[in-house]
Chains A and B, each alone.
Chain A
Amino acid sequence: MIKLKKLNFNFSSFSTEFDVETSKNEIFGVIGKSGSGKSTLFNLISGFLKPHSGKIFFDNTDITNLEPNERNLSILFQDHNNFDHLTIFQNIILGIDPDMKKTDDHVKQVKKVLKKISLNFDIDTKVSNLSGGEQQRVSIARCLLRNKKLLLLDEPFNSLDPGLRKNLYRDILTMTKKEKICTLISSHLIEELKNITNNFFFIHKGKIIENRVMTYQELSVNKYFKDYLQ
């Protein structure tokens, strides 16, 4: 469960303040206009930005002052999730070993997670030789290996074709349920998000509307959301 208590970050031109609490670990969609503060929210939760005030709690633990690597989370971006010149093995194993040592145990673990996401490649294949969707799968595999309880996905599949996106969303859903993790996905593709979740944070001008998780039905009567859809 994630709890943001008056989490504030000020830019020169505007400020953000997030105040929301979730009750259980499931998928939450994070939506809002470009520049509304979605990336800022993710940066605050992951620890890449230090808030000017407020607190972040995850599973009742105050993580506000923890470094990103001390937080129990993984993150997936739209691009540059993998080091192109490194192999599948290296990109996955760096999640638990910075030196990327190729021990028998490590190889076993990597093969196991690859099987989970149905990626059938030689682990010594360079990531640059994979397609976009396959590369994102490698990133998901790393997240799986890290076995963290909070997963942040910042517009991860936008550049992929619809069929691929559907499969990857399904993989995320399976992973969330199986591993019992809390997943936040930001995306503009609301229709696709609706297929995997009915819990949304709608961010407008740096704030979460009504400071709570809302269903799609609740959002659809909100005037800012209607504005956003247009």
Chain B
Amino acid sequence: MNIKLLLFIFLLPHVGIAQEKLKIFTYGSFNSDWGPGPNIQKEFEQICDCDLVWSTADSSGALLSRVKLTNNKEGYDLILGLDDSLITEAKESNLFIDHEINPQGLDFEWNDNKFIPFDFGYFSFIYDSSKINNPPKSFEELAERNDLSIIIMDPRFSTPGLGLAKWINQLYGKKSTEFWQRLQDQIVLTSKSWSDGYGLFLEGESDLVLSYTTSPAYHSLVEGNENYKSLNFNEGHASQIEVMGILKNASNEKLAKSFLDFALTEGFQKHIPQGNWMYPVINLDSNQSEFYKAAPFPKSLEQVFPSIEQKNEWIAFWENSIIE
């Protein structure tokens, strides 16, 4: 056989394989096998004719730290998974560019020029209703219940943990440390990430775990297990909006912008409810009704976008309660 023909046939599949790459830096559970990442990747790669490359950090709290420390020398195009509490700090790092997208059709008002929201949720504590039949109905009642053990996430390293610090601060202000102290005896574990803590809760290491009001929907819809429920506090629940943004030295800014555009479409958003188990930012009532039924909205507290000092103060209230 002709050698040249053989070579041509051999090399032919490789022609056109050199596709554009989009490097996304996110937290571990987003891109896990059971997270929304793989499905989103399939959807986007079909329309962009590109390769999505995921990199993950130990926890959501580590995302911003990593790019700040390395000045994004690792060359990520965008970060997916920061939350509203970190937006100010992220902007002040001067690592992000304007996205130039005009978000339309969102379920809430959004005016930020650097970050796009892709999901939101409300913090809560999850419990097993087959073991606890009189759950606390408020933070105050929770603090009185010494019979209940709790797993939380570390506010320094994890956005849910930071969310809890925000939540307590929203309710107790300068007296947050006192409230944290009342809760300390019940906190049996402070995990470094949500999946760490939630997994240990499911293994029976505690009665309650800090998570989202939407978490029981997973157990109900996927496992058929109706036992896991969310506490419903009279005081209201703090919210979290997760965002993504394009890094300044992104190697493929155009592709990154098109991903941000894509994130606000149904192609992306439909994987959020039963992938990331959070609420989508666009209304998907029509085809996600069972999700909304399994995860009704709780009473919500006001949305807060803290400065770095305010964020550090929330964390300090918590740290002081442990050290004192």
A–B contact (CB under 8 angstroms): no
